[in-house]
Amino acid sequence: MNYDIDKIRSWFPVLKNDVYNKPLIYLDSAASAQKPVQVLMKEEELHNQYYGNIHRGAHFMADKATNEYEGVREKIRAFVNAATIREIIFTKGTTESINLVASSFCERYVGAGDEIIVSEMEHHANIVPWQLAAERKGAKIVKLPFNDSGILEIELLVDLINENTKLIAVAHVSNVLGTINPVKEIIDIAHKSNVPVLVDGAQAAPHVKIDVQDIDADFYVFSAHKMYGPNGVGVLFGKEKWLNEMPPYQGGGEMISEVSFEGTTFNELPYKFEAGTPHITGVIAFGAAIDLMNEIGLDNMAAWEHSLLEYATEKLKEIDGLRIYGEAPRKSGVISFNIEGVHSYDLAMLLDKMGIALRTGHLCADTVMAHYNIPGCVRISFGMYNTKAEIDAFIVALNRVRMMF
């Protein structure tokens, strides 16, 4: 495989840093990915050359910024293969994207006694918004369970769906288990009963090729900051049919057509859902991250990261008393584990001192922790810039730390 890792690493200035006088080993890209120079330079270019508020100004700067901003919308459309840019809404992040759907979709379609199916392996961001909406509407959340290997029991879905089911919310890739869920199959089952599906793609978008038309997703959401782009930017893909029928999420500038004290008419898609001045800088710089991912090729990145995942899994399995959570055959990006007799937070504290950045705790997925009856775990995750040498160093550090207990 022709994967120029040295060149890729050179694009990420932060990776050259030392922490506590040790070279940084960043194994927390699933929490947030580092930013390449291409993204940093795009932010600078915007501010130095053509910053202005978009869609509003009658001047060169505003026009140029608007063109750049809308150019990114088209890039995102192509990235997920949506039919039209009207289906691409910019938000603050995955969490806001889900809240938008939970609020506006449920407002329009969910009533007392209705049900929303949520998978057991969801991040809190794909559980709590549905609970809040269900509470407002007198609806109920129904759990789609996973088995101990970390695989969703989708054969149960047919029985869970009934005439009251209004939506299914499921992750494309689990942030704890790494499982790549068969979303196309899930959506196919759901659609047979005319139930729409929201796919949380936050962990998939940096690693897995997304084709919203192929999987026929009704909603697909993700964040720029996990895709080497700036934080504070997210995307909501929604089928035009739904977005047209759903009421606006927030009111303000941009999302209106005409306003009077007697009433307001709303702007067309996608602007209807983009109230206020958006994160102009973030969106425009996000475009540079998308360009970079396209240039390297998502398939190349995925293959590289998969080899890291396999290598690290093999090495971790050699450690006595280590248990990996999530052993689905189709996995991406993350490995979560615990070592018997050692608290995950203790491990992370000591590894941090050795320059290794990783994640511990409940990983914002209490339902997954409850499934395995653990208070938390350690998670390592990979980005395009990680190497086998880093995994080797991590394993050495882990073994050293383990001996301290």
Of 142-150, 181-189, 252-260, 341-349, the segment contacting another protein by CB under 8 A is 341-349
Three-class SS state of 315: helix
User: Alpha carbon of 104 to those of 37, 110, 161, 337: distances in Å?
Assistant: 37, 10, 22, 37
Query: Please, which residue, 20 or 261, has the CB nearer to another protein?
Result: 20
Under the binding rule (CB under 8 A), the answer on residue 375 touching another protein is yes
Smallest gap from residue 367 Cβ to another protein (A): 15
Under the binding rule (CB under 8 A), the answer on residue 348 touching another protein is yes
Q: Which one of 98, 127, 198, 364 is the catalytic residue?
A: 364
Q: State the Cα–Cα distance between residues 175 and 123, nearest whole angstrom.
A: 7
Instruction: List the structure tokens of 91.
Output: 């938000």
Under the binding rule (CB under 8 A), the answer on residue 140 touching another protein is no
* One of 163, 192, 345, 389 touching another protein (CB under 8 A): 345
Under the binding rule (CB under 8 A), the answer on residue 376 touching another protein is yes
Query: Please, which residue, 248 or 376, has the CB nearer to another protein?
Result: 376
Per-residue interface string for the shown chain with another protein, residues 4-23, x marking contact by CB under 8 A: ----------------x---
Under the binding rule (CB under 8 A), the answer on residue 362 touching another protein is yes
Under the binding rule (CB under 8 A), the answer on residue 405 touching another protein is yes
Of 71-79, 166-174, 270-278, 342-350, the segment contacting another protein by CB under 8 A is 342-350
Asked if 25 contacts 224 with a C-beta cutoff of 8 angstroms, the reply is no
Of 252-260, 287-295, 315-323, 359-367, the segment contacting another protein by CB under 8 A is 359-367
First to last CA, the chain: 41
Q: State the Cα–Cα distance between residues 186 and 155, nearest whole angstrom.
A: 9
- Identify how many contiguous H helices and E strands the chain contains and give both numbers: 14, 17
Crossing angle (nearest 10°) for helices 60-80 and 280-296: 40
Q: Give the residue among 115, 80, 92, 74 at the shortest CA–CA distance from 238.
A: 80
Helix (H) or strand (E) holding 312: helix 298-317
Under the binding rule (CB under 8 A), the answer on residue 343 touching another protein is yes
| 106 in catalytic set | no
Q: State the Cα–Cα distance between residues 81 and 401, nearest whole angstrom.
A: 46
* One of 16, 47, 192, 353 touching another protein (CB under 8 A): 353
* One of 360, 367, 381, 386 touching another protein (CB under 8 A): 360
φ, ψ of residue 239 in degrees (nearest 5): -60, 140
Tokens 């008419």 map to which residue? 265
> How many CB atoms neighbour CB 161 within 10 A?
20
Of 144-152, 247-255, 276-284, 345-353, the segment contacting another protein by CB under 8 A is 345-353
Residues that bind another protein (CB under 8 A): 20, 343-346, 348-350, 353, 360-362, 375-376, 404-405
Which of the residues are catalytic?
A: 364
